[in-house]
């Protein structure tokens, strides 16, 4: 933990630092990328940088960690780092990169706060940073060791054996080792990073959930093409990597893929499951369902999915077949546009609505989809008395937290 002196300084200055962190992080990234343009080109997600998503995620993580670090009788702050550490491991983050971040982050803090950063304040927040960094480094080293890789060997080349158009904007790929050898074991719910070299020479990396985790001979991922779209007053650019993969990755092509990582995995117990997804958020649920079928599970499983239409529902047939193969599983689906079909007990019109849906007692509930969707579902679950520690979720993109109801 922090020294007593630093704890008091951080506690006293946290409101000021927390209020300014949104100004600090853009300056930090500008300084970082000016000094190390290769990091923006080959490591960080340029799309998230353009929209400010990564800056907001870093600001939230630093402020949350500092808050927990100085809280009395609060949870271990290192417990909040698992999601970040898994993401870092999937990118091959190295220990020697942390001093680089430290240098430019603290230069940004001084630029924003000026004389308010006294030697005592600087020393206290320096202690916060290195407490967080050293905790992350330790977790990441454990993850690398467990995966049998180093930061330099996280990625391997795999070949595309199958490509399927799952919906108008989603393509699935089956990936295997070029020599047919077994792939590293993956747990249901984990993801891999995919690295591509774009036409401008940048090496951009994105994460995709594994949909075929039980199979040692092949992995499955699904990629939704992200078109350019408006977000508030800004225009979000089209997804660089998803667009590239849709246009350029076909059977027989090779691609760089990381070892599997991700802390949101399916525990091996017999508690009932509720799997709730929307859109491309179905992909980790498909991984869960494949695992349950593979292990011949008889657990009670309720699968709830929302989508724009049947045509847009990626993995629609596969999900139905997997549910049918599980003796304890049932499925409900909501579509904003049912087309010419009539609503029935399984197909429902509109957006997801948990009113009238009977949830299995003491179920573990998993959510994946757009953040507003998950926040709404979580609020509905909390209103029904579901304990927050039984609600688990996966966020695609920079780490975000759902507001607790």
Active site residue 335: no
The long-range contacts involving 239-242, CB below 8 angstroms and separated by at least 24 positions, are 239/47, 239/206, 240/46, 240/47, 240/198, 240/204, 241/194, 241/196, 241/198, 241/204, 241/205, 241/206, 242/206
208 catalytic? Reply is: no
Active-site choice (8, 40, 95, 98): 98
Angle between helices 282-294 and 316-325 (to 10 degrees): 30
Distances (CA, A) of 145 to 151, 183, 266: 10, 16, 21
Q: What are phi and psi of 2, to 5 degrees?
A: -70, 155
* Cβ–Cβ < 8 Å for 47, 239: yes
Q: Do 92 and 151 form a contact (C-beta atoms < 8 A)?
A: yes
CA-nearest of 332, 334, 273 to 300 is 273
CB contact at 8 A, 167 and 305: no
- Beta-bridge mates of residue 231: 234
C-alpha to C-alpha distance for 354 and 304, rounded to whole angstroms: 9
Q: From the candidates 29, 129, 140, 335, give the one annotated as an active-site residue.
A: 140
Task: Give the separation between CA 240 and CA 242, rounded to whole angstroms.
Answer: 6
In 3-state terms, what secondary structure has residue 224?
Answer: strand
Residues involved in catalysis = 98, 140
């Amino acid at each position: 933990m922090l020294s007593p002196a630093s704890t008091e300084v951080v506690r006293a200055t946290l409101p000021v630092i927390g209020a300014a962190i949104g100004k600090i992080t853009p300056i930090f990234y500008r300084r970082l990328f000016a000094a190390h343009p290769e990091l923006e080109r080959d490591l960080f997600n340029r799309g998230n940088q353009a929209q400010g998503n990564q800056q907001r995620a870093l600001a939230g993580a630093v402020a949350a960690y500092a808050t927990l670090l100085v809280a009395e009788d609060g949870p271990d702050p290192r417990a909040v780092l698992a999601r970040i550490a898994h993401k870092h491991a999937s990118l091959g983050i190295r220990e020697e990169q942390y001093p680089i971040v430290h240098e430019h982050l603290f230069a940004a803090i001084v630029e924003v706060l000026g004389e308010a950063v006294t030697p005592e304040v600087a020393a206290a927040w320096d202690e916060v940073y290195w407490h967080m960094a050293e905790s992350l480094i330790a977790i990441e080293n454990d993850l690398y060791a467990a995966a049998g890789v180093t930061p330099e060997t996280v990625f391997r080349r795999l070949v595309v054996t199958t490509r399927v158009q799952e919906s108008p904007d989603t393509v699935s790929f089956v990936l295997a080792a070029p020599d047919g050898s077994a792939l590293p074991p993956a747990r249901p719910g984990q993801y891999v990073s995919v690295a591509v070299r774009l036409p401008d020479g940048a090496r951009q990396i994105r994460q995709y959930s594994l949909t075929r985790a039980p199979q040692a001979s092949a992995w499955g991922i699904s990629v939704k093409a992200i078109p350019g779209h408006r977000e508030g007053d800004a225009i979000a650019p089209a997804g660089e990597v998803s667009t590239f993969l849709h246009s350029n990755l076909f059977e027989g092509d090779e691609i760089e893929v990381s070892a599997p990582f991700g802390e949101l995995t399916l525990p091996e117990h017999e508690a009932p499951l509720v799997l709730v997804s929307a859109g491309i958020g179905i992909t980790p649920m498909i991984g869960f369902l494949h695992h349950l079928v593979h292990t011949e599970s008889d657990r009670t499983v309720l699968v709830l999915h929302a989508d724009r239409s049947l045509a847009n529902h990626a993995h629609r047939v596969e999900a139905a077949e997997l549910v049918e193969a599980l003796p304890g599983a049932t499925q409900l689906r909501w579509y904003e546009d049912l087309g010419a079909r009539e609503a029935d007990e399984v197909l429902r019109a509109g957006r997801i609505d948990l009113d009238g849906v009977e949830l299995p007692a003491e179920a573990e509930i998993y959510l994946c989809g757009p953040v507003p969707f998950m926040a709404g579902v979580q609020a509905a679950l909390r209103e029904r008395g579901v304990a927050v520690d039984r609600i688990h979720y996966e966020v695609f993109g920079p780490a975000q937290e759902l507001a607790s109801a």
